[in-house]
Structure 1
């Protein structure tokens, strides 16, 4: 039996689909799902529905895919379903004031960071890249700013030294699903306290661009190792060796005395990995991939693409494929 709260939902990727599934499994009525229009994807670049749309259709829900929500016509279906609240998770569209004010309880957002740290588009990537010790989920009452609304609920989790954006995404998706169900249960009774975000500690998680994936070997090895984890599974860190763009899926810092070799120089290559000099210390590349092949552990990779000590990766210029 459905709970009395009518919950419209707006979201697009897998992170959002986890939350939608939890809301449905908790028994809430979801009269409408908003998601991004189908986009080209895969090798054939066929129009592909978002993970949220796929889940919504599988559960028999009504779906709307407006390009924007600026006009009354674009908002018509949302207004007609008369939601009590609109839950938003990685939707990808800016919500104008007319949408924020439409539901009785407004719009609440599932944000994958401990606000006010990492407002913006890529909070998971940036937390890993920065070497943060923890991150989490913030359920936020949306306003017209960029992730500036009052906090309703906040849960933290540690970031493990081996976490990638991929592994952390999955943990936060599960946590976000738990948190939104908890928040919805408390919403009608008014037991959620609205806490303004502090002015101190604000950072912005800028959108990830492919050109960031090119490894700058003049940086310290620890910085590069974090970037490798941050860009796994997208866009994947890359280096260029013998004019071949090599994706680096996993790496570890090697504590070595300051080498005479220039940054980017291969110091060793064996089954344990390809050791490359960096601006400080060195990095052992443990899992690699070359064009037209799949990703391999270093030993297997080297059987198909031998690498010798003394060779040098290009410093800058490699582009993600």
Structure 2
């Protein structure tokens, strides 16, 4: 039987909690959990533990929440845990070299992309936004670079034309947890081979921002639909509807039509079509949307309840400045 490894786990959000759950169900021993300090959340801005901390406390695990790991005292405390390996999943803190070298077998990372594509903060959403037809998880031996370490295990999954950021997130979280346990089993047996990342094909997945969520209907329908799916469930795309915001949760390209000003509602009966593209010849079909103060609804239901808000010919969005060549 594969011997049990002493594991330090470092992670913060739901995605990381899935890997921690998989480790806790394995025969490996989680000896400590590192996670981000509690942050204010909700309307009351109450200090709230991360999903990883909540899960760790449920299982009676010691939890460490340093503001940073560059302090020598924190590094000594981590080294004193005498771990075989450290598993890092969406932790949110930079690991300096003394931390990377503290565990006997180093630090392994669950990264939600097919490295070297989409290194960085938001690989799940950027893959959908870019129109990639597949994504996956890479188990990586960490080094001092940004997601530059050697690849240990790769697992792939398809991105469908309907896949949202939330759906891909959940799928990759499950795949990542299973792949990490497999990696630890093979590591314990001395059978885990490392492959350097190729120099070609490197892309960077920059952090998501709310500013990016505003739709520019001068862009092609396929580009807009991909962004809508990528940014569901956060930060959720939107456009101006008069003086208010219409949040768009789901949309898809539709058959084109006569040229209209980009952003013009060309149909609003049983479906909601909006002219888009540089010449307004393309159409975006909005299928799920949300008015201020309301819930996200299927557009057919929204049109039945609030048809007066979507008269044909209404211009959605704001004029966007022309970009210089």
C-alpha separation in 2, matches of 1:242 and 1:230: 25
C-alpha separation in 2, matches of 1:14 and 1:51: 6
Shift of 1:75: 2.5
- Contact 1:2/1:28 (CA < 8 Å) preserved in 2? no
Shift of 1:72: 1.6
Cα displacement string for residues 108-128 of structure 1 (whole angstroms, at most 9, x for unaligned residues)? 000000000000000000000
User: Structure 1 144/189 Cα, relative in aligned 2: closer, same or farther at 3 Å?
Assistant: same
C-alpha separation in 1, matches of 2:291 and 2:51: 29
Answering whether residue 319 of structure 2 is matched by residue 309 of structure 1, we say no
User: Structure 1 202/42 Cα, relative in aligned 2: closer, same or farther at 3 Å?
Assistant: same
1:108-119 aligned within 5 A: 108-119=108-119
- 219-228 or 305-314: bigger deviation: 305-314
- 62-71 or 37-46: bigger deviation: 37-46
Shift of 1:260: 2.4
- Contact 2:165/2:233 (CA < 8 Å) preserved in 1? yes
- Contact 2:249/2:288 (CA < 8 Å) preserved in 1? yes
Question: Which residue does the alignment assign to 2:47?
Answer: 47
Question: Which residue does the alignment assign to 1:228?
Answer: 228
Question: Which residue does the alignment assign to 1:64?
Answer: 64
- Contact 1:3/1:29 (CA < 8 Å) preserved in 2? no
Shift of 1:86: 0.3
Answering whether residue 144 of structure 2 is matched by residue 144 of structure 1, we say yes
Answering whether residue 291 of structure 2 is matched by residue 290 of structure 1, we say yes
Q: SS in structure 1 opposite 2:4? A: strand
Q: SS in structure 2 opposite 1:99? A: helix
1:4-19 aligned within 5 A: 4-19=4-19
Question: Which residue does the alignment assign to 2:301?
Answer: 300
Q: SS in structure 1 opposite 2:249? A: strand
Q: SS in structure 2 opposite 1:264? A: coil
C-alpha separation in 2, matches of 1:263 and 1:74: 55
User: Structure 1 117/50 Cα, relative in aligned 2: closer, same or farther at 3 Å?
Assistant: same
Question: Which residue does the alignment assign to 1:123?
Answer: 123
Shift of 1:81: 1.2
C-alpha separation in 1, matches of 2:239 and 2:129: 17
RMSD: 1.5
Shift of 1:3: 5.1
- Contact 2:2/2:185 (CA < 8 Å) preserved in 1? no
Question: Which residue does the alignment assign to 1:267?
Answer: 266
C-alpha separation in 1, matches of 2:317 and 2:13: 35
Q: SS in structure 2 opposite 1:74? A: helix
Q: SS in structure 2 opposite 1:227? A: helix
Q: SS in structure 2 opposite 1:238? A: strand
Shift of 1:31: 1.0
TM-score normalised by the chain length of structure 1: 0.95
Shift of 1:299: 2.3
Q: SS in structure 1 opposite 2:284? A: strand
Cα displacement string for residues 194-224 of structure 1 (whole angstroms, at most 9, x for unaligned residues)? 1000000000000001000000000000100
C-alpha separation in 2, matches of 1:316 and 1:255: 24
C-alpha separation in 1, matches of 2:159 and 2:69: 36
Question: Which residue does the alignment assign to 1:277?
Answer: 275
Shift of 1:250: 0.7
C-alpha separation in 2, matches of 1:99 and 1:261: 58
Question: Which residue does the alignment assign to 2:323?
Answer: none
Q: SS in structure 1 opposite 2:73? A: coil
Which ranges of structure 1 fall in alignment gaps of 5 or more residues? Answer: none
Q: SS in structure 2 opposite 1:217? A: coil
C-alpha separation in 2, matches of 1:291 and 1:245: 7
TM-score normalised by the chain length of structure 2: 0.94
Cα displacement string for residues 260-310 of structure 1 (whole angstroms, at most 9, x for unaligned residues)? 210000001123x31100015110111110121111111222213521111
Shift of 1:79: 1.7
